[in-house]
Structure 1
Amino acid sequence: MKGQAFSKKCFLILIALIFLCGCWDQRLLKETTLLMSAGFDFTEDGKLLGTVTSPQISKENVADKALFYSEQGSTPNQVRNALDRKVGEVIDPSKLRVIILGSELAAQPIYPILDLYYRDPRSSISSKLVVVEGTAKDAMRVPILHTLKPSEYILDLLLSAEESTTVPNLNLQTICPIMFDPGQDFMVPYLSTVNDELNVQGVAMFSNQEFTGTLDTSESTLFLLMDDKKGRDGSLTLKISDHEKQEIKNYITFSIEHTKVNRKTQVSKENQVKVDISLVIKAEVSDYPHDQLTTREEVLKLNDKLSVLLTEEAHTVMKKMQDANCDGFGIGRELIALYPETWKSLDWEKDYSNIEFNPTVTVEVIQHGIIN
């Protein structure tokens, strides 16, 4: 009996060893070049210029230093192959954090640039996508004083802007279905270089995969609020008067505590599309140099003033979106789902700019400081 039990155990161990074959497909870190950020531009002769950053790896650890490589090619894959030959190791895109597009390149359909990252199973489709004013190569080489890793610096900028309701929380994975949806467009962060520093300037609007316009930071915040996509925090600064001698007294800054959005799309018998958007903002005054909020009457007057100003700005946002032909709210998607016959009768590329938007913003100050 003991011999049979022993033989059975040996047989089971042998079977286990056959299936536990080990890490036959391992790829050592020293044999790869990790891509942390990638940027694309056009050269003067129309070629594709790719720029990547990779951490400098030593025997001890990963040093706080980034290595830059640039190569040209006709396609992103040809650029990658050229970079492979330059760096010596196999390029690994699995840790890619940010893809940066120059503004000239982004003005043409961007999917051909991104196609490689969707097809390659090693790619990180959680990477952020941004557009920069000028070229991606210049933006990636902006001197960074507090850190030498451009990918981390840019990613921190984007995450902070997402939390403050300045840019939408999107990545390659969430953008992909929108790019092929005829009833919806998207926006991505828009960066620029100011005094040798990278700054989030708002969002880049896209129509049919093409960069067609921008919204500044206050406009993008208002758009996100109307689209019911408030981040963890958010604030707005408005000019509420022109007659104060001290300029600072003409402005107010308030934090956005809570919001409520109601959007209604209607279609008339003549297939005229009308969109009503109602946004209610519960606000906390954080900077008001007037210091005149001691009575309920003053607070109500301020509510009315802020409501009028933000409603006017909301109309400006709608106008810019229609001029850029960017259906960021996905109105076309609503028509496809709820009014299919109307959708079939429309040429959305032309008719979107003619639909009627009626935004209304109501502000209610619920907190104005601990003193008064």
Structure 2
Amino acid sequence: MRRKIFLCLSLMSLVISGCFDQTTIEDISAALVLGMDLDDQGDLLVYMSSPVFNKEAETKEEVYQVKAVSLRNSRNSFDERVMGLSSGSKTQIFLIGKRLLKMKNWDKYLDPFYRDPKNTVTSRVVAVDGAVKDIIFDKPVDKSRLPLYLTKLIDTAAQRNLIRRTTLQEFRGQMVDKGRTPWIIELAKGKMIELKGSTLLTKQGQYQLSITQYETELLRILEGKREGDYSLTLPVSSKAAHDKKTYASFSIPVLKVKKRVRYKGRFVFNIDVKLKFGLGEQVIPLGVEINSKELEKNIQNQLEKDLNQLIHKLQKNKVDPLGLGLYARAYTYPEWKKNQDHWVDSLAASKINIHVDAKIKSMGTMR
């Protein structure tokens, strides 16, 4: 009997303490989008976009900009302006302006998200080609709220492998691992908000270069992960077309990538890309026919050419978003250990061979 009474009292104390600690949604300003940038004087600007849950409010989203010395310090300034206690537990998008990206070790500003368990580390890190304010204060009349719009824009593009989603947790892993360099989504504001491709960073988190959506797709292919769809359009040369422009669009339902590495005075990588593609469109001059073997060979040669150009571009800029250093560490550890502190220099001097084997899986319902 005493045990039952003790159990009941314990449960009651838990319920009561839970009631005292709870916070209603009306008392919280959930920062669904956060942004960081630098002003003309080099001071840190922090932006926040959060939904308004008050049914009497005409505006259903509040957006603020504050000047602060750190991300944690900005919370006090936001709490002076927003209708509830600002919280980073539901942050979906983290926007980083290009001015800030050009600073070394800017990622130290993200420290509160890695220390405070109330903050999330699943938000998507996004580079802004321009000023963050151009994105976060944008209110297109034909789109949903900015947090929902940006999240949907990024997730649908990721399904097509036009970009690679990088969360805060993944970004930290890329920063601390000596065998790779970070890469994040890039977007810009012109007439409308649009995804531009990817931003590649140095080991210090500093902006190095941008690559297009097509180059991002190629990088995703070299990763070898079958996630979502691949939809490519490539120029296809043909003797029958007499040098006229011809194009083929195709998907890649089957993809296998094998990476091997050895050390012979320098690191030598061999990357074999095997894929089967389904033809979705063929734009050729009237009366011209390209047989399947010729099409396979043309796509294989074009992909091999584009992949090699991309690899040379990465080597020239001394970045390793593909994580080839991970393979060097796994299979040539003694040599890797000597080069780990200057891996990107070793990568730039490496020989990287890419071979593509492309086969037709489907020509479509009509030929």
Q: TM-score, structure 2 length as denominator?
A: 0.90
**Whole-Å Cα distance in 2 between the matches of residues 340 and 261 of structure 1?**
22
Paired residue for 1:284?
278
Matches within 5 A, 1:252-331: 252-268=248-264, 270=265, 272-290=266-284, 298-331=291-324
**Does the 8 A contact of 2:267 with 2:346 survive in 1?**
no
Superposition deviation, residue 310 in structure 1:
0.8
Listed one character per residue, the Cα deviations across residues 89-145 of structure 1 (whole Å, up to 9, x for unaligned) are: 310111110001111211222321211211222111110001111011112233423
Deviation track 1:284-305 (CA, whole Å, cap 9, x = no partner) reads 111112289998x711101111
Letter in 2 for 1:252: A
1:92 aligns with 2:91: no
Change in 2 beyond 3 A, CA 1:8/1:333: closer
CA offset digits 1:142-163 (Å, max 9, x no partner):
3423334111111111111211
1:329 to 1:293, Cα distance in 2 relative to 1, 3 A:
farther
The alpha-carbon distance between structure 1 residues 264 and 15, as it changes in their structure 2 partners (threshold 3 A), is closer
CA RMSD for the aligned pairs? 2.7
Counterpart pick for 1:197 among 176, 184, 192: 192
Q: Deviations over 1:233-268 (max 9, x none)?
A: 111111224997998x63221111111111111111
Structure 1 length normalisation: TM-score? 0.89
Using the TM superposition, give the Cα deviation of residue 11 of structure 1 relative to its aligned residue in structure 2, in angstroms.
5.7
Matched, 1:49 2:38: no
* Number of residue equivalences: 361
Deviation of 1:223 after TM superposition, in Å, equals: 0.9
List per-residue Cα deviations over 1:274-323 (Å, max 9, x = no partner). Answer: 1111112211111112289998x711101111111111100111122123
Measure the CA separation in 1 of the matches of 2:140 and 2:320: 36
Cα 1:246–1:50 change in 2 (3 A) is farther
Selected match of 2:16 from 21, 39, 43: 21
Q: Residue 19 of structure 1: CA displacement?
A: 4.5
Cα distance, 1:246–1:93 mapped onto 2, change above 3 Å: farther
CA contact (8 A) 2:262 2:331 kept: no
Matching residue's letter, 1:163: Q
The answer to whether the 8 A contact 1:163-1:232 is kept is yes
Alignment of 1:107-256 (within 5 A): 107-108=102-103, 109-194=105-190, 196-208=191-203, 209-241=205-237, 250-256=246-252
Distance 1:72 1:246, change over 3 A: farther
- Asked if the contact 1:64–1:149 (Cα under 8 Å) also holds between the matched residues in 2, the reply is no
Q: Counterpart of 1:95 in 2: which secondary structure?
A: coil
Residue correspondence of structure 1 range 52-71 to structure 2 within 5 A: 52-59=48-55, 65-71=60-66
Contact map agreement 2:181 2:202 (CA 8 A) in 1: yes
Q: 1:361 matched to which residue of 2?
A: 356
Q: Which has the larger radius of gyration?
A: 1
Could you list the runs of 5+ residues in structure 2 that have no partner in the other structure? none
CA distance in 1, matches of 2:248, 2:154: 25
Please say if residues 205 and 321 of structure 1, whose CA atoms lie closer than 8 Å, have aligned partners that are also in contact. no
Measured after TM superposition, the shift of residue 22 of structure 1 is 3.8
CA contact (8 A) 1:215 1:317 kept: no
CA contact (8 A) 2:95 2:132 kept: yes
Q: Compared with structure 1, are the counterparts of its residues 12 and 167 closer, same or farther at alpha carbon in structure 2 (3 Å cutoff)?
A: closer
**SS of 1:169's equivalent?**
coil
CA–CA distance in 1 between the matches of 2:281 and 2:42?
A: 49
Contact 2:163-2:197 within 8 A present in 1 as well: yes
Q: Any gaps of 5 or more consecutive residues in structure 1?
A: none
Describe the SS at the equivalent of 2:52: strand
State the match for 1:72 in structure 2: 67
Moved over 4 A (4+): 7-12, 241-247, 291-295
| Counterpart amino acid of residue 75 in structure 1 | S
Match of 2:328 among 326, 335, 346: 335
- How far 1:41 moved relative to its partner? 0.8
Note the C-alpha offset of 1:358: 1.0
Q: Percent identity?
A: 22
For 1:342 and 1:238, the matched residues in 2 are separated by 39
CA change 1:145–1:20 in 2 (3 A) is: closer
SS of the aligned residue for 2:166 comes to: coil
Q: 1:326 corresponds to which letter in structure 2?
A: V
